[in-house]
Structure 1
Amino acid sequence: MEELYGRQKGMLKGELSQLDDSFQCRKALLVTNQVSCQRCGSYFSKNENQLSSKEYYCPYCIQFGRLSTQTYLVTQNETKKAPREVRFTWQGKLTPAQQKVSDNVLKNYQKDKNTLIWAVTGSGKTEMIFSVVRDCLQKGGRLAISSPRIDVCRELYPRINEVFPKEETLLLYGDSEQKYRYNALTICTTHQLLHFYQAFDLLIIDEVDAFPYEGDKTLAFAQKNALKKDGKYIYLSATPPNHLLSSLKKTFCIEKLPIRFHERPLVVPQLIWYESWQHCYYSNWKIKKFVAYLKKLLEDNDVLVFCPSISYMQNLYKRVSYFFRSIKMDCVSSLDKQREEKVQNMRDGIYRVLFCTTILERGVTFEHISVIVMGANHKIYSKSALVQIAGRVDRKGSYQHGQVVFFYNQQTQAIRDACEEIKKMNRLAKEWIAS
């Protein structure tokens, strides 16, 4: 039953007799004045979610298998693993600024301290965790790198696999092809943490401020459950919200890095007034402004066009396609079954333009790219989303004059704050380089 080392599974009371003393069993639902789920941490009243048998069930994590008051969560206590050799094949070199952060993160972990890496987009956060991942594995530890976004996990997986080729890294998300197996190194979405219980010595959460993790109490509960009692956290973020920074002051070391690895500044967005951006695909006259800017940007780079909704994206894509018949373009959203293939096509240069929703706001890297945000004043674009979107530009490769264009017809606090944060990080980076 190795698959239950640190992994929790719902079992009925009658099934428990087949288990020996190495297994740990606890009730899936606790009933007091309320009913509480021990897998997702949700609470509900006794008047809700009752079966005909008078038993209760949890509706909040039912997609991971139904838990009722007749169910027990079963896991197996893992034996301590011995230190071992870990093959590490990365041939790159950290910049002095990256090396300082990497060294501090490793020292913090070795001193049993949690860490937040607060580093700008394109600073090389993944490379800065290589040393601590290696240290954890060498000590016989088990770790997970988790993110709220599937695309981030997919991009991390081949990079981690290449650096730690003997680890047989496991990639888990809702529709992933791989099935769970016991191993030392896992990359997964934060929802997959609901399946784990006291499994990891080190839990690294990338894009800790991203939807749907940010503000989700269920995922926060799952994260705490997944960590061993003496385990440690490392959070990664380019845009940590103030409430997160405040909550971590006493329990986390904060390592800040305002410089990208190539030491070029973050691209400051151009704010372009577009009166009728919401309806621009209705006529050739209204779309004319967008087409003109797109043509100009395509002289130097490929272009990502961020849209506030799937329907808007599809309508805009159809209208714009008529003006660029010789250029290959497409659109992609979270509902697209060819999502992974389309993103790779953009990365490979097959597409020159890719219309997308906020699924590509973070965690993905394209060379030679410019960005347009349609309706930057839309409520879906928070400050952190706008900063992350702008951060897609000039992440790697030689400088290609990448630009960031925010089309808007109303000034918002999110737009102001995003532009100010980018400028602030650039000022701070300039000071770091000069010192």
Structure 2
Amino acid sequence: MPCRRYVIYVAWNDKKYKLGMSANPQIDLSFLNRNEGYDHIAYISSPLPLAVSDYVLSTISKPQERIGKDYSSGLKLPLVSSPARSVKRIIDAKFKQVKKELEQLKEECFLEKPLHFSSKSISIDYFSLHRYEDALEDILAGRIYYRREIERRLKERGIELDNLDVLLHLSTLRGQVQQVPSIKIAEPDRMVCNRCGHHERIKKAYCNVGKRECYFCEGCLMLGESKPCEALYAAPARPRMQENYVKSVRLNLDIAFSLPQYEAFEALARFVRKDSLSEAMVWAASGAARPEVAYGAIREILKRGGRVLFGIPRKEIMEEMNYRLTQAFPGVTVAGVRGKVTKAVKDPDIVLASAYHALKYYRNFDLVILDEAEAFPFRACDMLVNALRRARKTDGKYVYITSTPDSAMYARAQRGEVKVIMIPLRVHGIPLPVPKMIVEKDIQGERKIPDSLFGLVRETIEEDLAQLLVVVPDQGTSARIGAFLREKFMEMAYGDADRLLMSTGCQDEEQQRKVNSWVRGEFPILVTTNLTRRGDVAPNTNVIVVYADNPTFDEGALLQLAGRVGWSDSYPTGKVWFIASRMTRPIEGAIRKINLLNEEAEKKGLLETGAVKRSDLKS
């Protein structure tokens, strides 16, 4: 399909003017003449790629000018010149601004002067197009699609349109549909993907269709190319009939909450019921969060006939979450969306979606939940976070459950822009183990093995009688540390070193077998780059992070690794060591946040409190 080009224009009558852009400005003039009384139009740019025309239009005009502005609006003195002179000055000024902006973008403008047209020569068959408006509205309600996707869904309904572009543009002019470039120009030297939100993964390419340099987004490439010349069309969800009344929703929650978990449950329910803030962060100690703390908030939304979206960072937990929600909310429709197969559930109350499917939603849900704690040891990707925020209705709520709050969300929470709900300790009520920092300056560059390492290994297996997880930045270091420890054990006549430790990494084909054996307690020491699943933890564990100042270990990774210690009742006081050549901001931040959680638990008098049975939540 050829690249569509868009013209920036000024439309006017004797009272007001407005700016817009269109691939066919005559359609705009016909519509504006019919509905708003505009009878003239002037092109102030040559045809441009969508992203270019969108950026230039937003730069040279104010929002009021794109809606329609009176000539005298904002003037302190009465308008003395005629409308014709006023609009001529406006058109000439805007034309100069367009040329200046295009010059900065290194785009050519082939117009020497604005081109003027009247409404007399334009005719559109509105009656024929009107027959398909309902189908288009139904397809786009609460969704964001490319033209090709809309065309495919119309064909599935037996509708084939030669003038789909005209119908889409008229819907845009009416304000029923929003049109944006798939990749937008944020600044002259910076682009952002409107589909997935990435800006650092925009790559240059040559467009064979447009015969010019172009761009695509590498972040969402597996969904098809996102390009500056392609449009995305979106429309908010329509109100549900159920939203007109309050209904009873049964919550079957037969579990034991700790006191902090129950307080978080109640706080989230109050948040969606009456809080003025639109976003809440549930900051939980690693291993202390559970999805059920959000079920009170979900019930509040369902009672009002609203819809809920659960963002799932890992597809492996989709079926488990589907089962848990179905059991907790009998009679409520729950749909899991992932891969190419989707269970056909029309207008479900609760939707579970992976990142790629969440990207298709637009202003659709009253409550959006991201349970990052369930992704352990992974963190939710930026694409999923961006998709979930876009899927929330403008007056909806967003809940972020995490043990490793990202810096941007944490900063917003500090400014009071996000409600913070804390679950500062685990069910057993023992304070979180605080990592001990060991600085060895001579290990900078990671060529020298830390002197303290073997002593900490012996302390773990001889004194604490615990298992040990030694985490390193890469697989080569894993093999080197593993060989060093084997040699040390042989020197001290510990016996068969292979029965004491194994080393592995992400490139090891036997990684999962070794991890499973360590989890089962078949050997005490595992040297690894990282673990891959929620279940890859042993109950009686200490952790050593070697070369913790390596960029691989950001603050979130260090918090997750520290969270592998002390979670079990059998060994709640496990030990964590960070060995590094220097203190870094991620190390300092991870230790500070663990201390903050412990201080919060102590301040609230929560230490060593027992579990509270909440069978009364079945109402």
Q: TM-score range by the shorter chain?
A: 0.7 to 0.9
2:420 corresponds to which letter in structure 1?
I
- Matched with 2:53 is none
Deviation string 1:228-259 (CA, Å, 9 cap, x unpaired) is 33321012233435643443445432223433
The 3 A distance-change label for structure 1 pair 360 and 99 is: same
Stretches of structure 1 that go unaligned for 5 or more consecutive residues are none
Equivalent residue number for residue 63 of structure 1: 222
2:379 matches 1:223:
no
Say if 1:271 and 1:405, in contact at 8 Å, map to a contact too. yes
- Among 275, 286, 305, the residue aligned to 1:121: 286
Distance 1:416 1:29, change over 3 A: closer
Match of 2:560 in 1: 388
Residue 320 of structure 2, aligned match among 153, 158, 179: 158
Residue of 134, 142, 146 corresponding to 1:10:
146
Question: 1:386 Cα shift?
Answer: 2.4
Matched, 1:377 2:539: no
Deviations 1:83-129 (A, max 9, x none): 77767554222233322221111111122643222233233353422
Which TM-score applies when normalising by structure 2? 0.55
Distance 1:144 1:10, change over 3 A: same
Task: Give the one of 291, 308, 325 matched to 2:498.
Answer: 325
Say whether the 8 Å CA contact 1:330–1:354 is kept in structure 2. yes
Q: Name 1:98's counterpart in structure 2.
A: 261
Length, aligned pairs only? 422
Q: Indicate how the Cα distance of structure 1 residues 28 and 180 shifts in structure 2: closer, same or farther if over 3 A, else same.
A: farther
| 1:366–1:395 contact (8 Å) kept in structure 2 | no
Deviation at 1:264, TM superposition (A): 0.3
- Matched ranges for 1:240-279 at <5 A: 240=405, 243-248=408-413, 249-273=415-439, 276=443, 278-279=446-447
Secondary structure at 1:325 match in 2: helix
Query: In 2, distance between residues paired with 1:347 and 1:271?
Result: 26
Secondary structure of the residue that 2:499 maps to in structure 1?
coil
Inter-CA distance 412–52: structure 2 relative to 1 (3 Å threshold): closer
Question: Structure 2 stretches of 5 or more lacking a match?
Answer: 1-134, 160-166, 490-496, 608-619
Larger RCO of the pair (alpha carbons < 8 Å, separation 6+) = 1
Q: Which residue of 1 aligns with 2:195?
A: 39
Post-superposition Cα deviations, 1:193-225, rounded to whole Å, max 9, x if no partner, equal: 3233333322112349998768x5x65543332
Q: Deviations over 1:239-284 (max 9, x none)?
A: 43564344344543222343333210011223345555934679xx
Say which one has the larger Rg: 2
Q: CA deviation at 1:4?
A: 7.6
Alignment check: 8 A CA contact 2:554 2:586 kept: yes
Relative to structure 1, the CA distance from residue 367 to residue 280 in structure 2 (aligned partners, 3 Å threshold; closer, same or farther) is same
Contact 1:5 1:78 in 2 (8 A): yes
Q: Quote the Cα distance in structure 1 between the aligned partners of 2:526 and 2:393.
A: 42
1:317-346 CA distance string (max 9 Å, x none): 46656853225746353x678877776665
Match of 1:110 in 2: 273
The alignment partner of 2:283 has SS state of strand
Of the candidates 311, 316, 323, which is equivalent to residue 146 of structure 1? Answer: 311
Contact 1:313 1:331 in 2 (8 A): yes
- Deviations 1:51-81 (Å, cap 9, x if unpaired)? 1111856334322212443565578956726
Cα distance between partner residues in 2 of 1:143 and 1:156: 15
CA distance in 1, matches of 2:142, 2:575: 46
